[in-house]
Amino acid sequence: MINEKNIRTIGTHSGKFHADDVMATAMLRLLLGDIKVTRTRDEKILKTLDLVYDISLGEFDHHQLNKEIRENNIPYAACGLIWREFGSRVLQKFDSQLEEHDIISLFDFVDKNLVQGIDAADNGIDIKSDIKATTISDIIQNFNPAWDSDDSIDEAFEEAAQYATVVITRIIKRQISVIKARVIVNEAFENRTINEIMILKNGCPWLHHLLKIDINNEVLFVISPDEANGEYKVQSVKKNVDTFESRKDIVESIRGKSRDEINSIIKIDDAIFCHKAGFIASAKSMESALKIAKLSVST
């Protein structure tokens, strides 16, 4: 294990950059602070630095013939190699109270949902679906100056690194909030008066943890307060985190209807909305939200 206290200088290749070296830079800065990056291809300079990545065929380069490959056949790139070495320590910077199993869970989440896609792209592996979707690798690569631009490529790299730092910071903070919400979800799950309906006392991320604890797939709808808008949301529970398909949808008769129509059908007076796909509805009061959920359960 490399002691980060001994890292005072870092470097990567100059010239055109990709999400691989940019995101690796963001990770290192989250760990080490706003450290300067030397961008060069001069081997003499690179050998004087404490840590070098994505060049020089060292520990954090992936251009050698015997590159490392994950069990799922996604090869490591510099981003993944840096995350593997320093990721857990980066996460502890965000919250020193995280338990070991939470660190492992967060590490794996970031690797699966951010790092592996970047590594795949940098290794020339196409993991996109049939629908062309812009990826984080595409976005970061677009920070490179255009061929007819006089902009500094090193300044563009710094701009891209700042963007990458925001991206990974948001992902980590979001997942830490999911972990902290477990107490609220556990309490709501245990205090149900109707097995199919879970009522949260605070709006918070609930799906991931509910799917873990609701082993019998009992909960069909979750009601939570939306304090910012002064309303209560009724949401259907997805079958898993990777699908839009729900265990059960909100009652069909109110989907896509106007407020007045919903009020008339449900016999309430404070309806706000119901999505035409039937996965979310809302009302001003808890009583009305609960009525929508109950009707959805029974039909």
pLDDT digits (tens, 9 = 90+) for 34-68: 999 999 999 999 999 999 999 998 899 998 888 89
- pLDDT (0 to 100) of residue 19: 97
- pLDDT (0 to 100) of residue 129: 66
How high is the mean pLDDT of the chain? 95
pLDDT digits (tens, 9 = 90+) for 160-211: 999 999 999 999 999 999 999 999 999 999 999 999 999 999 999 999 999 9
- pLDDT (0 to 100) of residue 99: 92
Angle between helices 78-94 and 100-110 (to 10 degrees): 140
Strands (E), the chain: 10-12, 37-39, 51-52, 197-199, 221-226, 231-236, 271-274, 280-283
- pLDDT (0 to 100) of residue 4: 94
Using the Cα atoms of residue 64, residue 70, residue 75 and residue 81 in order, give the sign of their dihedral.
negative
pLDDT at 132 over 90: no
pLDDT at 262 over 90: yes
pLDDT band at 127 (very low <50, low <70, confident <90, very high): confident
| Residues facing 12 on adjacent strands | 39
User: What is the H or E stretch that residue 92 is in?
Assistant: helix 78-94
Percent of the chain whose predicted confidence (pLDDT) is above 70: 99
Across residues 110-136, what is the average pLDDT? 88
Cβ count near 282 (within 10 Å): 22
pLDDT at 294 over 70: yes
pLDDT at 280 over 80: yes
